Amino acid sequence: LLRLLEQTCRDEPSELPVVCQFGDTKCRLVMKNRRRVLEKLQSLMSGGPDALEVITDFDHTLSKFSENGRRVPSSHGIMESYPDLSAEDHKYFRELYTKYYAIEICPDMSDEEKLPHMIEWWTRSHDRMVLAGFQKSVLAQTVDVSGVALRDGWHQFFDRLEELGIPCLIFSAGIGDIIQEILVHFDIRGKLIRVVSNFMLYNEKGVLRGFSEPLIHTFNKRFSAFASSEASANDLVGATDRRHVLLMGDTMGDLRMSEGCNADLVLTVGYLNDRVQDRLSGYADKFDIVCLEDHSLCVPLAVIEAAATGGTA
Ligand code: MG7
């Protein structure tokens, strides 16, 4: 990545994709401002792994968007494969998805315009899950049969974070219990991994009765969303004193995940999974590196390896 940047670095911005080879994997990347990416990478290198933290989205960022032409389910999608749902429940969730996903990714609406719709989606979906009487006892099995897939290279990604002592905050508007179960399913047990998300609350019989507050949705995923909670925002998200952040996401809302954290340098990697033509320009403006229809974690891994070469560690 560094070599490519040094070779192709120009002062004028470019939205043209470049191909970067990582071992056997070729990735198409857009780095509109290559000089800025190069400078950020050089700073990450000089800070080394001790200065770095990863803040990442989960659904369709750590997990794949699609595999063999099949859409990989999000954590909400996995909940919706709960075996005891009725045909009406399925229809209800499908209709919600069709209506609100189009709004979530609509390039012609602002975040402010989308916000009330997103709150409505999450609330209606969570209420229906409570009504359906989701049982804690089937969580593991529901995840096991869901067909969820992580991006290629996930094993190495989590191994390297653990080896280098780099904390990883998984910040998700999905469902935290499902994400934790997915981590268990793939035997990912890093001590420095924290999941901040919507967690399920159960009654004494292990039946879902609600979700944790504050609700986290696509457009309030940031440290400051916790400011009004009883515990301080920093306690809730387990803020670290790391100065450098590698931020990974697949929606524009993800860019704000690090807002309010202590870092002074944030390198952003965006996965553009869907509707590439419509959305590339916006992504290229906002993310340092945009990965186009990429199923791997090669780029984040390259960034981590770059940081691993530097610093005092
Ligand atoms: N997402 C958000 N909600 C739902 C839901 O009720 N069902 C499904 N299938 N997906 C949902 O991890 C966050 C992502 O999950 C999706 C309420 C959204 O697309 C969101 O970006």
The residue to mutate among 125, 200, 257, 272, having the most atoms of ligand 1 within 8 angstroms of its beta carbon, is: 125
Percent of the chain past pLDDT 90, that is, above it, reads 72
Q: Beta-strand (E) ranges in the chain?
A: 18-22, 25-30, 52-56, 66-67, 70-71, 168-175, 193-198, 200-202, 208-211, 244-249, 265-272, 289-292
Please, which pLDDT band fits residue 4 given cuts at 50, 70 and 90? confident
Q: Which atom of ligand 1 is nearest to the CA of 175?
A: 12
- Quick one: pLDDT at residue 122? 97
Q: Do the beta carbons of residue 49 and residue 308 sit within 8 Å?
A: yes
Q: Which residue's CA is the nearest one to ligand 1's atom 4?
A: 76
- Quick one: pLDDT at residue 138? 94
What's the pTM value of the predicted model, to 2 decimals? 0.93
What value does the mean pLDDT take over residues 134-155? 95
Pocket of ligand 1 (CB under 6 A): 59, 74-77, 80, 93, 96-97, 101, 104, 121-122, 125, 172-174, 218, 251
- Quick one: pLDDT at residue 6? 76
Q: What is the dihedral of CA 245, 251, 253, 257, to 10 degrees?
A: -20
Q: Which atom of ligand 1 is nearest to the CA of 121?
A: 17
- In this predicted structure, the answer to whether residue 132 has a pLDDT above a threshold of 90 is yes
Q: How far is CA 201 from the centre of its chain?
A: 23
- Quick one: pLDDT at residue 229? 55
The residue to mutate among 101, 105, 215, 255, having the most atoms of ligand 1 within 8 angstroms of its beta carbon, is: 101
Q: Which atom of ligand 1 is nearest to the CA of 59?
A: 12
Tell me if ipTM is over 0.95: yes
Q: Mind telling me the catalytic residues?
A: 57, 59
- In this predicted structure, the answer to whether residue 147 has a pLDDT above a threshold of 70 is yes
What value does the mean pLDDT take over residues 229-236? 54
Choice among 93-107, 175-189, 229-243, 298-312 with the minimum mean pLDDT: 229-243
- In this predicted structure, the answer to whether residue 237 has a pLDDT above a threshold of 70 is no
Write the pLDDT tens digit of every residue in 8-36. 777 778 888 998 888 889 999 999 999 99
174 CA distance to ligand 1 middle (Å): 6
Rg (C-alpha) for the chain, rounded Å, is: 19
